[in-house]
Amino acid sequence: MKIAVIGFGAAAIGLLERMKDTEHEIHVFEKSPDIYSSSISGIRADGKLFVSSEMGGDIFIDPILQRKLVDFYINFTERKHVETGKSFSSQTYYRQFYEKGFMPISSEFYHIGTDQLKEVLFNIYAMFGKSSNIHFHFDAEIKSIESNNGGIVINDSDYFDMAVVAVGRSGHKLINKLIGENPTLVQNNTKVDLGIRYEVPNHIVEELNKEMYEFKVKYKSRTGYMVRTFCNNPSGFVVTENYGDFTTVNGHAKMREKSTNTNFAILASLVLTEPFKDPIGYGSYIAKLSNLLAGEGKVILQTYSHFKESKRTKNLYRVLPTLEHDKYILGDVNLAFPRRIIESIIDFVENLDTVIPGIANNDNLVYAPEIKFYSNRLNNITNPKLKFIGDCSGATRSIIYATAHGYLMGEAILNNHFSNTSL
Ligand SMILES: Cc1cc2nc3c(=O)[nH]c(=O)nc-3n(C[C@H](O)[C@H](O)[C@H](O)COP(=O)(O)OP(=O)(O)OC[C@H]3O[C@@H](n4cnc5c(N)ncnc54)[C@H](O)[C@@H]3O)c2cc1C
C-alpha cells in the first residue's frame, strides 16, 4: 500500500518503527521546514518518559510495550544515560499521602531532558532515513484530506491507499476542518484542566524529589473538583508557552543546567456538561483574560499568601522566579480565575502542607494560567482508510502512549485489522 503519514512526532515514530523495512511505501508529510526546526514534534521539551497504567492516555497500553518504547528512545541518547525513578514505590510515602486524602499515582519514569531531546529526535530521523520504504517531505503542511475512489487524496493532489493522521495538538486546524466536514468523527469532548504552576525552593521537596523525582497525586477537593499535580521539575525552570492567540505557563528541567527551585503544575479538572460543549473555548477565554491583565505574551506571578488573600503582589521575598523577567507581571490571579478553581487549589496546597511542611509558605510562587486541553476523542472506525494516532486522536497525552498508539496502529495495518476497536 501507498500510505501517507501526516506529521512527524511521537505517534508517527511508533508507526514508522513498526512499519519500516516492509513492502508498504510510506510518505511522511511534516509542516516544519526541517528536522532541526523548533516547531517539529512534541518531543522537544523535557522528555520525561513514563511507564504507567494510570496516566498518559485513555487506551490500554501493555507495560511491556511501554518499557520497550522507553528503551527505544534511550538507545538514541548519546551515552544511553537518563535520570530515572519510580513514584510511590515506598510504602511510607504512599501511606502518608493516602492518610491525608490524596490518591498517589504510580509510575516509572525516565528523564531524557530538554537539551538531549534534539539529538534523540535527529538520530531517530536519521535511522528511518535509511529505510528504503520511508520518504520524508518537510515544509509540507497538509490542509485537506478527502476520501476518493476507495483511497485518500491529500491537499487536492496526491492519491494514497490510506492516510494516518499524526498531527498532535498543533495540528488542530486540520483536525477541526475534518471534524467540520464529518462531525460523526467526534466521540466525545467535555474536559479541560485549569490551574497554576507552583514554584518552591528545592529544599522543601528535596526528600520527595530524591525518592521519586516525579510525584503525582490526585485529590478530591472540598469544592468537588479533582485536583492533581502534573509535570514536577526538580531544579527546573518555568517557561511560557505560546498558543498563538494566548500564552500559558509551563515548566521543564534540563539534564545539565540546574536551578535552585522545583516547579510543578496544580490543575483542577473541569468536566462540562450539556448544553455546554466547548471546554477549549472556556479554557482559552480564561487564558486570554489572564494575558489581558499581565500584558500580551505574559503570565501572572503572585506569592502564595497573596493568591490566598486575593491581593496583588508587589514584591517577592525569599523565592525568586526562574521564569525570565520580561515574561511575567506581578499581579492577582483572582481577577482572572473562577472562585471555585482558586478554592480548589488553595484546599489542595493547604492539605499538601500537612504532608510536605513548607509547601504552603507565604512566599512560594504561583504562576497562571496553566491549562491542559484535551483533544476531541476521534472515532477510528468510521473510515478504514483514514486513521488518527497520538494526541490528535484524543486517545493519548504522552510521548510513550502516543508512540505506542502509532506502533499498534502500524501492527493493525500490517495484520489488516483496520477495524480494531481498541485503537
Ligand atoms: C511543552 C510540552 C512538554 C511536554 N513534555 C512531555 C514530557 O515530558 N513527557 C511526555 O510524555 N509528554 C510530554 N508532552 C506531551 C507530548 O509531547 C505529546 O503527548 C506527544 O508528543 C504527542 O505525540 P504526537 O505524535 O501525537 O504529536 P506531536 O509529537 O506533537 O507531533 C505532531 C507533528 O505533526 C506536525 N503537524 C501538525 N499539523 C500538521 C499538518 N497539518 N501537516 C503536516 N504536519 C503537521 C507538527 O509539526 C508535529 O511535528 C509535552 C508537551 C508539551 C507541549
Domain 2-77+112-187+376-414, classified CATH 3.50.50.60, yes or no: yes
Q: What is the pLDDT at residue 420? A: 63
Q: What is the pLDDT at residue 351? A: 98
Radius of gyration of the chain measured on its C-alpha atoms: 22
Fill in the amino acid letter for 263: N
- Please, are residues 168 and 392 in contact by the beta-carbon 8 Å criterion? yes
Q: Which atom of ligand 1 is nearest to the CA of 47?
A: 8
pLDDT digits (tens, 9 = 90+) for 2-61: 999 999 999 999 999 999 999 999 999 999 999 998 888 888 777 889 999 888 998 999
- What φ, ψ does residue 153 adopt, rounded to 5°? -110, 130
Mean pLDDT rounded to a whole number for the chain: 93
Distance of alpha carbon 44 from alpha carbon 178, whole angstroms = 27
Least trusted range by pLDDT, from 183-187, 301-305, 398-402, 404-408: 183-187
pTM higher than 0.85: no
pLDDT of 418 > 90? The answer is no
Angle of helix 91-99 versus helix 202-212 axis, rounded to 10: 130
pLDDT of 413 > 70? The answer is yes
- Whether residue 171 has its Cβ less than 6 Å from ligand 1: yes
What is the number of other CB atoms lying within 10 angstroms of the CB of residue 252?
20
Candidates 5, 10, 55, 58; CA nearest to 188 is: 58
pLDDT digits (tens, 9 = 90+) for 135-194: 999 999 999 999 998 999 999 999 999 999 999 988 989 998 999 999 889 887 778 999
Q: Which residue has the cell 514536577?
A: 232
Sequence-distant (6+) residues with CB within 8 A of 188 are 376, 377
- Whether residue 114 has its Cβ less than 6 Å from ligand 1: no
pLDDT of 195 > 90? The answer is yes
Distance of alpha carbon 51 from alpha carbon 290, whole angstroms = 34
- Whether residue 46 has its Cβ less than 6 Å from ligand 1: yes
Query: Which band of pLDDT confidence, cut at 50, 70 and 90, is reported for residue 89?
Result: confident
Cell digits for 71? 528503551
Q: What is the pLDDT at residue 66? A: 97
Distance of alpha carbon 267 from alpha carbon 84, whole angstroms = 24
Query: Which band of pLDDT confidence, cut at 50, 70 and 90, is reported for residue 69?
Result: very high
Spell out the domain ranges in the chain: 2-77+112-187+376-414, 191-373
- What φ, ψ does residue 88 adopt, rounded to 5°? 55, 35
Average pLDDT on 65-81 reads 93
Distances (CA, A) of 154 to 5, 139, 145: 11, 15, 5
- Ligand 1 centroid distance, CA of 49 (Å): 13
- Whether residue 124 has its Cβ less than 6 Å from ligand 1: no
- Whether residue 390 has its Cβ less than 6 Å from ligand 1: yes
- What φ, ψ does residue 410 adopt, rounded to 5°? -60, -45
Distance of alpha carbon 185 from alpha carbon 377, whole angstroms = 8
Q: What is the pLDDT at residue 186? A: 87
Angle of helix 10-19 versus helix 399-414 axis, rounded to 10: 30
Task: Give the residue whose CA is nearest to atom 14 of ligand 1.
Answer: 398
Q: What is the pLDDT at residue 2? A: 97
- Ligand 1 centroid distance, CA of 39 (Å): 9
pLDDT digits (tens, 9 = 90+) for 214-271: 788 999 999 999 999 999 999 999 999 998 889 999 999 887 899 999 999 999 999 8
Per-residue H/E/C for the chain = CEEEEECCCHHHHHHHHHHCCCCCEEEEECCCCCCCCCCCCCCCCCCEEEECCCCCECCCCCHHHHHHHHHHHHCCCCCCCCEEEEECCCHHHHHHHHHCCEEECCEEEEECCHHHHHHHHHHHHHHHHCCCCEEEECCCCCCCEEEECCEEEECCCEEECEEEECCCHHHHHHHHHHHHHCHHHEEECCEEEEEEEEEEEHHHHHHHHHHHCCCCEEEECCCCCEEEEEEEECCCEEEEEECCCCEEEEEECCCCCCCCEEEEEEEEEEECCCCCCCHHHHHHHHHHHHHHHHCCCCEEEEEHHHHHHCCCCCCCCCCCCCCCHHHEEECCHHHCCCHHHHHHHHHHHHHHHCCCCCCCCCCCEEEEEEEEECCCEECCCCCCCEEECHHHHCCECCHHHHHHHHHHHHHHHHCCCCCCCCC
Sequence-distant (6+) residues with CB within 8 A of 82 are 49, 74, 110, 111, 112, 113, 116, 255
Query: Which band of pLDDT confidence, cut at 50, 70 and 90, is reported for residue 106?
Result: confident
Task: Give the residue whose CA is nearest to atom 47 of ligand 1.
Answer: 40
Q: What is the pLDDT at residue 422? A: 67
Ligand 1, residues 387, 399, 403, 423: which to mutate, most atoms within 8 A of Cβ? 399
Cell digits for 225? 473538583
Pairing of strands 261-271, 191-201: antiparallel
- What φ, ψ does residue 213 adopt, rounded to 5°? 60, -60
